[in-house]
Amino acid sequence: MVYSTLLKTCVLAASVWLTACASSPQAIQLSPKFSAPTARMGNNSPVHVRVSDQRQNKVLGSRGGTYRETSVVTIANDLSLAVEKPLAKHMATMGYDTDSLRADTADLHVIFESLVYNHPKEDGVGYDMDMLAVVNVVASRGNERYEGRYRVKRKQKFFNAPSESHNAELVNGLVVEVLNSMFEDPKLVGFLRKN
């Protein structure tokens, strides 16, 4: 009886330990939410918005743990579709005409080159996550063209591993941050506003 109870306790302790060492895969729902713009910079300029996902690696990264190769973080939905509509809506609130059929409409093609959300292999105090987002932008109108590349990189430390909802919040925030950085480029803004 004592042996049986001891065995059950050992099995329970081992399973708890293994659970703590292993992290299950997560598929994050991408749904970026933009804050209201501080100014209407668009001046009613016509812009058609397109988003492409050209990441070579569709896995964002690993949540770490003993089995880091299987505890991966991915995007559950289509990145292009998840970003394109909210971005166009955000630009409309910024004063751009994103529904225009005019001949002089600028084409804004936002290309996701990289999106990383990864727990590094190195052990340390706390729980680090490396975050990186890179987008290439090609804006064209007739024979005119402007290209820009925008990058956001940061490391965030947590006391415990973030939950799935917290991970989703951080990844969506990273997407919004890199897209907002486009509008801090005066040359891109000037190109889009050219009438």
**Kind and range of the H or E run holding 111:** strand 106-118
pLDDT value of residue 5: 54
pLDDT value of residue 14: 39
0.95 exceeded by pTM: no
What is the rounded (10 degree) CA torsion for 74, 76, 81, 83? Answer: -60
Q: How far apart are CA 127 and CA 64, in angstroms?
A: 9
pLDDT value of residue 12: 44
**Least reliable range by pLDDT among 33-47, 59-73, 76-90, 179-193:** 59-73
What pLDDT digit, counting tens, does each position of 65-118 carry?
Answer: 555 565 789 999 999 999 999 999 999 999 999 999 899 999 999 999 999 988
The ranges assigned to domains in the chain are 2-193
| Neighbouring C-beta atoms of residue 21, cutoff 10 Å | 11
Q: How far is CA 86 from CA 49, 109, 142, 158, 192, in A?
A: 10, 14, 26, 29, 18
Residues of the chain with pLDDT > 70, as a percent, come to: 79
Q: Which amino acid belongs to residue 137?
A: V
Cα 12 from chain centroid? 38
* Class of 2-193 in CATH: alpha beta
Q: Which amino acid belongs to residue 44?
A: N
Residue 68 makes CB contacts below 8 A (sequence gap 6+) with 23, 62, 119, 121
Q: How far apart are CA 28 and CA 7, in angstroms?
A: 39
